[in-house]
Structure 1
Amino acid sequence: MTRDYEQFPDDDNGNVLWQMHEDGDDLTEPHEIEYSIAFTTQEQAEKCALYLLAEEQKISLFQDEESDAVEWIITIYVYMEPEYSDIVDLEQWFSKIAAEHGGEYDGWGCMAYVYDDEDEDDYED
């Protein structure tokens, strides 16, 4: 299949979405996409976490002790269809929130949802 650069632009987000598509992921199905913001202090992370909760976001907050420097990570869970423009819009919003709270936006990811038509036949009545 030829890549549609309007649907999958030639940048990091477009490349990830294109790879998901090529791997058989159904991008018309909602996915739980995880966006991350990193902080150097617990206080900054907690203030941002409270702000995100007030914005009705589903989040988790944890200390990443495996990184070179101790970091606090907020993961924001958004259930959505992985559509390029929506991902870019949310990245811009989370980058702005991160900067306002002394953190740094750290990207997104999600689990792949690959459906095999043959498997569906196995579960029919």
Structure 2
Amino acid sequence: MSRDYEQYPDDDNGNVLWQMHEDGDDLTEAHEIEYSIAFTSEEKADQCAIYLLKEEQKISLFEDEDTNEWVITIYVYMEPEYADIVDLEEWFSKIAVQFEGEYDGWGCMAYIYDDEDFDPEEELNSQ
């Protein structure tokens, strides 16, 4: 199958989505996508976390022991569509700047099933 550059533009986000598609991930299904913002200041990370909670975002906050940065992860349950990802990246980038942090990208778990008849609920219930 040839790549549809309108659906999967030739940039980092388009490349990741295209690779997910090529790997067999069903991009019409909602995924929990994780967006990250990094801070050098715990105080600024706390302020941003409170702001995001008031915006009704699901988040986690932790200190990365390797970098001594404070990292907020924002969990958004959505279909991984290019335009929506770009819009959220822009919003989270603005928020990061507002609180003196740095937007650090997104990622998600791939949902790939080799067997078309595989039912994860049935699998969980059978164990």
Partner of 1:64: 64
Aligned mates of 1:59, 1:120 — CA distance in 2: 31
Q: Which amino acid aligns with 2:45?
A: A
1:111 to 99, 109, 112: 109
Aligned mates of 1:25, 1:8 — CA distance in 2: 14
- Among the aligned pairs, what percent are the same residue? 80
Q: Could you tell me which runs of 5 or more consecutive residues in structure 2 were left unpaired when the two chains were aligned.
A: none
Q: Which amino acid aligns with 2:31?
A: H
Residue by residue over 1:44-73, the C-alpha shift from the partner in whole angstroms, topping out at 9 and shown as x without a partner, is 000000000000000000000112xx1000
Q: Is the 8 Å Cα contact of residues 26 and 115 (structure 1) preserved in structure 2?
A: no
Q: Which amino acid aligns with 2:95?
A: I
Instruction: Give the match's secondary structure for 2:60.
Output: strand
Aligned mates of 1:111, 1:117 — CA distance in 2: 18
Aligned mates of 1:47, 1:39 — CA distance in 2: 11
Partner of 2:20: 20
Q: Which amino acid aligns with 2:9?
A: P
Q: CA deviation at 1:117?
A: 2.9
Q: Is the 8 Å Cα contact of residues 9 and 15 (structure 1) preserved in structure 2?
A: yes
Aligned mates of 1:79, 1:38 — CA distance in 2: 21
Structure-2 change in CA distance of 1:119 and 1:66 (3 Å): farther
Q: CA deviation at 1:84?
A: 0.1
Aligned mates of 1:63, 1:75 — CA distance in 2: 11
Q: Which amino acid aligns with 2:106?
A: W
Report how many residues are paired. 122
Instruction: Give the match's secondary structure for 1:28.
Output: coil
With structure 2 as the length reference, what TM-score do the two structures score?
0.92
Partner of 1:5: 5
Aligned mates of 1:96, 1:78 — CA distance in 2: 17
**Structural RMSD (CA):** 1.6
With structure 1 as the length reference, what TM-score do the two structures score?
0.93
